[in-house]
Structure 1
Amino acid sequence: MAEHIGQRIAARRRARRMTQADLAREAHVSLPMIKGCERGVRSPGPSTLEAIAAALGVDASRLDPAHVGTSRRVHAALPSISAAIAGYELALDPAGRPLDQLRKDIDDAVGWRLAAQYGLIATHGPKLLGDALAYLHSASGAHSEEAARLVVAAARTADAVAYKFGAHDLSARLIDVMRWAAGQSKDPDLSTSVAYVRAETFLAARAYRAGHLALERALDVGPAPNTVRSMATLGALHMRTAVVAARAGSAEAAYSHLNEARTLAQDVPEGIYLGTSFGPSNVRVHEVAVSVSLGRDHIGRALDVAREWSPGREIPAERRSGFWIEVARAQLWSGNPDEAFKCLREARKHAPQHVREHPWAREDIGKIRRLKRADATSLTSYGEWIDAI
């Protein structure tokens, strides 16, 4: 079986014109692992297989028909994540890895989150979070600042699977850990980045008015935009506030915050700042999100953006995928189910695990099937893959 998996990996990689080094980098796994898999001398575990599949833009079952999917393993890992933060304010065991290794592993985990590689997070996230908390409890002086950032990054990585897989109570607890850790720091940018993540709680509860007010208050006490990092964290928070304001039905506030983000992005290179992607391209992605969040009367703006531009590799895979899911909804609302389906297929190419767990994607593929009234093989296959049938 390992040999057949390796052959499928190699065939997909060549079809996408990727080198083995390209695939290793995109999948966040070692080059020897890729080479060994393709030669059939190594067999990837479930999380590694999913990481490789995500980098190739296919579901893992296309590489290994025996693969049972990510969801079961993620749900099995949620109790371990919960246990890791049960006594987060207490100093318990020492960290199980040296600081240099902890830094590297958390950097890798941030990459998994941005690439929507949830299987890897489920496998490694609980222990990583426990070690980050242990380091914060043992740190002192200048090391406390770094320790707080590591805890926020580790908790945010774990939160990615909690939030995406519907464990919203656990997600809220992880955000409390982030807020607590940021409070141990004197870094206002870190608190601003945590306020960005906290918006998930309001989005999950559909408490949009409360979320809008909370994010406005976070912006009021945010850092002065006098460094690239502070401009990026503020800009990202303005983007998130724009979406929440749009969900609350306040078009004026939504577009005002989007314009603030656009102004800040003029002086910020596209990149990742304290774990959040920000820059001019991200603002365009959020222009689509705001338009769709405001509803049918605003979708023309989303479609105008999509006609002129689409995100490239300067944007993380999960956010590229989200862009196409948003455009698919706009296309569906405008009466173009064929174009909507094309967008959902494009979204799947960028982050299959993200699409599979996205409620809009599942809902919209069901609507497209009903509108088409034809049992097209590709449409039915997509619906079965995303569990919409």
Structure 2
Amino acid sequence: MPPLAEVRFGVERFVEMRLAPQYVGLAEELPSALPVYLRAYHAADGRRRADLARLLAQTFRAADAIADKFGFYDLSARIIGILNLLAEESGDGPTVAAAAYVRAELFFASGDCDTGRRMLERAAAAMTLDGGGPVAAAYGALHMRAAVLAARAGRPDRARDHIDEAAAAATHVHENIYTGTAFGPASVRIHHVSLAVDAGDPADALRIASGWVPPLAVPAERRSHFFVDLADAQARCGRDEDAVTTLQVARKVAPQHVRYHPQVKSTLLSLSHRFRSPPLALSELTRWTGVVAEFRS
């Protein structure tokens, strides 16, 4: 059986690849690593078993990133079920909270955003802000994601309450990765932009984003989210050339994430309707993402 330190090193690498994001690398390496880690977990007991459960939860989270991003929602649901069982066995509060954070994907996929929000509220209620960095970050991350679910459920007041709670939690920590989730003041600001887009207020999204870019302390996947939302807001406000430029930036930040992102495809399709002779950059982006452009005749 591999030493715990060896498993921890491998899992840290998978977390880094997920956040980069490097889905191809994950798809190549996870199938050989998972059986080894699972055998070690089933052979262990006591503290070692709990530690391996915590590490395996992060490994299955990396596997879910592939399933969720590429629309294999049945597989994603199965992976998330295993992840939650492992998190519970770990006995680690931030890991249990991270599992709830991931479980919210199921409610995004089904459109049952109110139920997902309530699930996250219950998970956050089990956390406190005085439990140290990882605990405060877990609490804030749950509220950050609950804010997005509330916005998509058409509950702007709830969304504001949750993003305010997340912002308060962010004052207790530096921007960093906590239990596999990026959290801190910059992450909260990125989500604030997303909320404005989801609320149908692109002008407010542009106001929040004005003059700011996410620091490199934020993982590439989340930084690309900021640029994807910003491009969406720019397109809705008629700033078409800015939107194309911003999508090019998003592509450079996280190409494997941006190429298949449904919001990118919808923004490109919307932009394509506005041009008779599309800019070269727009044509290239539509080809790269596989969008069937419908340029104006």
- The equivalent residue for 1:88 is none
**Distance apart, 1:139 and its partner CA:** 2.1
- The equivalent residue for 2:295 is none
Q: Letter of the aligned partner of 1:353 in structure 2?
A: Q
**Distance apart, 1:224 and its partner CA:** 5.6
CA contact (8 A) 1:121 1:157 kept: yes
**Distance apart, 1:212 and its partner CA:** 1.5
Which residue of 141, 145, 156 maps to 1:236? 141
**Distance apart, 1:98 and its partner CA:** 4.0
**Distance apart, 1:194 and its partner CA:** 0.6
Question: Does residue 326 of structure 1 match 2:229?
Answer: yes
The structure with the largest alpha-carbon Rg is: 1
**Distance apart, 1:327 and its partner CA:** 0.8
What is the rounded CA distance, in whole Å, between the counterparts of 2:276 and 2:139 in structure 1? 46
- The normalised TM-score by structure 1 is 0.73
What is the rounded CA distance, in whole Å, between the counterparts of 1:331 and 1:123 in structure 2? 37
- The equivalent residue for 1:314 is 217
Which residue of 290, 299, 304 maps to 2:207? 304
- The equivalent residue for 1:184 is 89
Paired residues in the alignment total: 292
**CA deviation profile, 1:282-301 (whole Å, cap 9, x unmatched):** 11111111111122xx3222
What is the rounded CA distance, in whole Å, between the counterparts of 1:373 and 1:176 in structure 2? 49
Question: Percent same amino acid at aligned positions?
Answer: 39
**CA deviation profile, 1:327-369 (whole Å, cap 9, x unmatched):** 1111111122212111111100100110001011012112111
SS state at 1:184 partner: helix
CA contact (8 A) 1:243 1:286 kept: yes
Question: Does residue 131 of structure 1 match 2:36?
Answer: yes
CA contact (8 A) 1:188 1:223 kept: no
CA contact (8 A) 1:232 1:265 kept: yes
What is the rounded CA distance, in whole Å, between the counterparts of 2:126 and 2:43 in structure 1? 29
SS state at 2:258 partner: helix
- The equivalent residue for 1:173 is 78
| Worse-matched range after superposition: 223-232 or 342-351 | 223-232
**Distance apart, 1:100 and its partner CA:** 2.8
Q: Which segments of 5 or more consecutive residues in structure 2 lack a partner in the other structure?
A: 293-297
CA contact (8 A) 2:54 2:92 kept: no
Q: Letter of the aligned partner of 2:247 in structure 1?
A: L
Which residue of 286, 289, 292 maps to 1:386? 289
List structure 1 segments (4+ residues) > 4 angstroms apart after TM superposition: none
CA contact (8 A) 1:225 1:234 kept: no
Q: What RMSD, in angstroms, separates the aligned Cα atoms of the two structures?
A: 1.4
**Distance apart, 1:169 and its partner CA:** 0.7
**Distance apart, 1:178 and its partner CA:** 0.8
CA contact (8 A) 1:246 1:254 kept: yes
- The normalised TM-score by structure 2 is 0.94
**Distance apart, 1:223 and its partner CA:** 4.9
Cα 1:238–1:225 shift into 2, 3 Å = farther
Q: Letter of the aligned partner of 1:367 in structure 2?
A: S
**Distance apart, 1:148 and its partner CA:** 1.4
Cα 1:197–1:225 shift into 2, 3 Å = farther
SS state at 2:131 partner: coil
What is the rounded CA distance, in whole Å, between the counterparts of 2:186 and 2:40 in structure 1? 35
Which residue of 14, 24, 35 maps to 1:109? 14
**Distance apart, 1:99 and its partner CA:** 3.2
Q: Letter of the aligned partner of 1:200 in structure 2?
A: E
| Worse-matched range after superposition: 326-335 or 217-226 | 217-226
Q: Letter of the aligned partner of 1:154 in structure 2?
A: T
Which residue of 120, 134, 143 maps to 1:215? 120
**CA deviation profile, 1:216-260 (whole Å, cap 9, x unmatched):** 222223356421110001111110000011100111110111011
SS state at 1:277 partner: strand
Which residue of 116, 119, 122 maps to 2:27? 122
Q: Letter of the aligned partner of 1:349 in structure 2?
A: K
